[in-house]
Structure 1
């Protein structure tokens, strides 16, 4: 069996979707389909239940996925050893934590001779990859308790209201009532606590002029001078320092503290930032 096909299969399992797996691999969806069919022919069993709406593993597929993961990990470890080097640290992070703090640590580590492979995504998905052995450590906003794993505070940030400096109509701060009348972009963070905080600030059913699940797109909205938005301060450090964006102080309500955590296997804490 080709390892490339095994990697493709594991991506399909991760995303429960052929199209997303194809996008990650930069290949056509038909290529992904053919690789899965090749694996099923080689294994002599059906690995996936699939129809137009759902995709799930067969019982044989569940067992196959466990062995496929081990084979891929062994190949990665072998290649790293043969190349005469230290194995890459396989790190997972949410976009906000990566941009806000982790990126600086990684670049410093690379300058010192370290090797890293970074996967960006939502905390829940990344933690599943940690439990399965696909990642060595995860950096995100979710604090977890799990036997055999260590969860350590990484850094603390704040969710702040931002606007392009020349568009700030509230240099002395904004109240909740004023905030609700402003053109605000909404970034759909997966963290439940952020959702609860924002729901308290805006009325139920509020329709925003721009809503997206990628904070970089929200930064584009702000840079264009189209309105206001809440983002973690850490991911707009450069824009604040350069004077492009400006924080708007809250009046009558508080900024939300954002605590991020590093999760890794117990006993391996010293390996990571």
Structure 2
């Protein structure tokens, strides 16, 4: 499958405009049209619905988009490995969510970099489901996720446990003594599910269906500046904001009539890679 066709498809799915796609790819608009037509012909499916106003992915196009991105990533990874300047140096590829990386992985990565392990290190940050897809496709060697992976041929081990707490700036004293679940709806709540699967669903279900939050984002660490400025409340992993609790710039709000689930994370790798990772696993467990 022609990679230029895939790149054109991915770009068009983003811009939803043939003219804009052509400009971004530095090709004629007819080239974009022809590439998409050839791709649709090879797949035997229409990937876009076109009219005078917009270009929209078909259900088949939405399904293919994820595969197209992974095909390109696999090609880039293969080229990178083949063209490595030092074949004696193993490239160790970590896949991790942003919050696991920020909370836990610095000591591990530092150990890999400072010990004489004869390894180069590459970090890929994404959501748990995507990281596990990368692992299955051979794009990474080890995955750190909030989802346990029980597929045959893989080793999945519990990594860390964390506490989910409700926090706000110390200037927001209305609920400093505690809050009942029914009162959550009155908060200026800053929402992030940070791809924690059941934990994200737990937070969502604390509020009425279709509740419109004051602010939403998919990266939990990006909420912190707003909280420090006194804007709203949010449930966050304790490890992420522990230093702000210690210096009292943020406070934890006690929960009066409900509890939060434990945040559990895992690391997963292929059985076949156990020998390759034999120098890394002890560092993870340290």
- State whether TM-score is above 0.5: yes
Distance 1:85 1:247, change over 3 A: farther
Unaligned runs of 5+ in 1: 23-27, 58-62
Structure 2 contact 188–233 (Cα < 8 Å) conserved: yes
The 8 Å contact of residues 151 and 261 in structure 1, kept in 2 or not, is answered as yes
The partner residue of 2:125 within 120, 124, 129 is 120
**TM-score for both structures, normalised by structure 1:** 0.75
Task: Report if the CA contact (8 A) 2:193-2:199 is conserved.
Answer: no
1:159 and 1:231 in contact (8 A); partners too: yes
- C-alpha contact 2:192 2:200 (8 A) present in aligned 1: no
Q: What are the within-5 Å matches in structure 2 for residues 35-184 of structure 1?
A: 50-51=47-48, 52-54=55-57, 72-80=76-84, 82-83=85-86, 86-112=89-115, 114-184=119-189
Q: Which runs of 5+ in 2 are unaligned?
A: 49-54, 62-66
Q: Is the 8 A contact 1:18 1:33 kept in 2?
A: no
CA contact (8 A) 2:164 2:260 kept: yes
1:233 Cα shift?
A: 1.5
Q: Distance in 1 between matches of 2:184 and 2:68?
A: 53
Please, what is the CA RMSD of the aligned residues?
3.7
Tell me the equivalent position of 2:52. none
Query: Are 1:251 and 2:259 an aligned pair?
Result: no
Which one of the candidate residues 4, 10, 18 is aligned to 2:11? 18
Asked if the contact 1:184/1:228 (under 8 Å) is kept, the reply is yes
Partner Cα distance (2:188, 2:155) in 1: 42
Q: How many residues align?
A: 251
Give the secondary structure class of the aligned counterpart of 1:152: strand
Residues 170-196 of structure 1, C-alpha deviations (whole Å, 9 max, x = no match): 333222133332221111333331233
